[in-house]
Amino acid sequence: MNILQKILAVIRRELRIIRKRPVYIVGSVGVVAFCCVFFLTFFGKGLPDELPVGIVDNDNSTTSREFCEQFNSTQLSRVIRFDTFSQARDEMTRGNVFAVIVIPEGMNADVMANRQPHVSFYTNGLYFLGGALSWKNILQMVNLTCGAVQREVLRMKGYNEDEIMGMIRPVDIDTHQIGNPGTNYDYLLSGMLIPAMIAMCVMMILIYSLGAELKFGTSRHLLETSGGSMGAAVGGKCLLWAVIFSVLGCIAILVMYHWLGFPVAGSVWGMMLDMVLLIVSTEAVAVFIIEMIPVPRLALSIGALFSILSISMAGFSFPLEGMPRAIQALGPMFPLRHYYLFYVQEAIHGTGFAGWWSEAVHFLVFAFLPMLGIRRLEKAYIFQNYPKD
């Protein structure tokens, strides 16, 4: 048999195993479908809304009531009134409100007398997203209220609108949020978490598929099927799972960037290529892990740890450049990091091949990893002298 026939024989054998063991279908198609549905619906609104914020209005004046009404009309916040600060603080410690605003007594009188009232607000930093968004909304509303008060005072002094705006806001800020103008968290999180989950499934399924040959003592039969070629044995398994996960990954890309309209400055085909390269490089890492540690239980544990760390090391939730230098040096070891850099160039900046060719090279370097330990795994398959648990 030539090498192609050997690989096809391994693929047919793997398909028979998949039919007999539903765990493969559940761990691939089932998990990927569940993750897509979960993340795309969980972040479906794009941005949290009606976050509960407590207000203690000790002034109860026209100005304070108008501030409360305007604050309650914003999309991000929902006002909950409290009589005392202690009540509001207790609710915040219980997690029922994300922030508390305390309007001091005599605020309206201080404003009318050109004195500076002090409005205090407290945010719950334990809830990072809710607390940060509440803080941002409170600060924006306080600044708008201050501007409105100043504008009315300057109007009474006889200034025209241009002069008033020049005094209130001497520097006009023109903000451009490239790639995500609506601050949609679905675009940021789902666009990376779904590929991360697919890469994790690839890692676990392939390690299990190769490790199961040792666990169930069928490794010698696999070598017989491949005509004694270890390369054909591993290549057949990798090729089959690469095709299966590439189809699933490309469907996920189409759902996100075509059906749901995720912003992509470049080409959807480029993102599909990014997904395929991620799957192939993750397979290479999975093969390398089972080669170095041909013990199914330990290899699966290391593969799971590697997959979890890759989410942090990718840099989409916290910039890798902000981590210690020793940690930054580990970033290129994770395929998901290169997927993210490829994604930035293709989906956000739309630079095309000129922007992401270096990341494609990094992906291809991973493909050589299995060559480092292929003989070690072959000996384990022949002698079966490693623990099977």
Whether residue 204 has pLDDT greater than 70: yes
57-78 burial: b if 16+ Cβ within 10 Å, else e: bebebebbeebbeebeebebbe
Give percent above pLDDT 90 in the chain.
47
Shared domain for 39 and 62, answered yes or no, is no
Q: Rounded CA gap, 11 and 240, in Å?
A: 6
- Are both 219 and 364 inside the same structural domain? yes
**pLDDT band, residue 267 (cuts 50/70/90):** very high
Shared domain check, 370 and 250: yes
How do residues 129-160 score in pLDDT, each as one tens digit? 777 778 778 877 777 777 766 776 677 777 77
Express each pLDDT in 83-121 by its tens digit: 888 888 888 888 888 888 888 888 778 777 777 778 888
Residue 307 has pLDDT above 90, yes or no: yes
pLDDT at 271: 95
This prediction has a pTM of 0.83
- Is the pLDDT at 281 greater than 90? The verdict is yes
Q: Are both 365 and 237 inside the same structural domain? A: yes
pLDDT score, position 121: 84
Is position 174 within any domain? no
Cα torsion 262, 263, 267, 268 to 10°: value is: 0
Assess whether 318 and 338 both reside in one domain.
yes
- Say if 39 falls within a structural domain: yes
Instruction: Tell which of 168, 199, 234 closes a domain.
Output: 168
Give me the pLDDT at residue 168, please: 67
Question: In this structure, is residue 210 part of a structural domain?
Answer: yes
pLDDT value, residue 169:
67
In 96-114, which positions are buried (b, 16+ CB within 10 angstroms) versus exposed (e)?
ebbbbbbbeeebbebbeee
- Per-residue pLDDT at 1: 65
| Residue 94 to residue 107: CA distance in whole angstroms | 29
Q: Do 275 and 340 belong together in one domain?
A: yes
**Do 143 and 214 reside in the same domain of the chain?**
no
Choice among 22-26, 183-187, 213-217 with the minimum mean pLDDT? 183-187
Residue found under tokens 């994770």: 334
Q: Is the pLDDT of residue 47 over 80?
A: no
Question: Does one domain contain both 231 and 281?
Answer: yes
pLDDT score recorded for residue 95: 82
Tokens of 6: 């050997």
Q: Which of 140, 168, 196 is the last residue of a domain?
A: 168
Number of domains in the chain: 2
Q: Give the pLDDT of residue 365.
A: 94
In this structure, the number of other CB atoms found within 10 A of the CB of residue 233 comes to 29
pLDDT band (50, 70, 90) for residue 326: confident
- The pLDDT value given to residue 252: 95
Domain containing 76 equals 51-168
Position 318 pLDDT exceeds 90: no
* 194 and 262 together in one domain: yes
Q: Which residues pair with 103 in a beta bridge?
A: 57
Q: Regarding predicted confidence, which is higher, 386 or 247?
A: 247
Binned at pLDDT 50, 70 and 90, residue 127 comes out as confident
| Predicted pLDDT of residue 137 | 80
pLDDT digits (tens, 9 = 90+) for 341-381: 999 999 988 888 999 999 999 999 999 999 999 999 999 99
Task: Please provide the average confidence, as pLDDT, over all residues in the chain.
Answer: 87
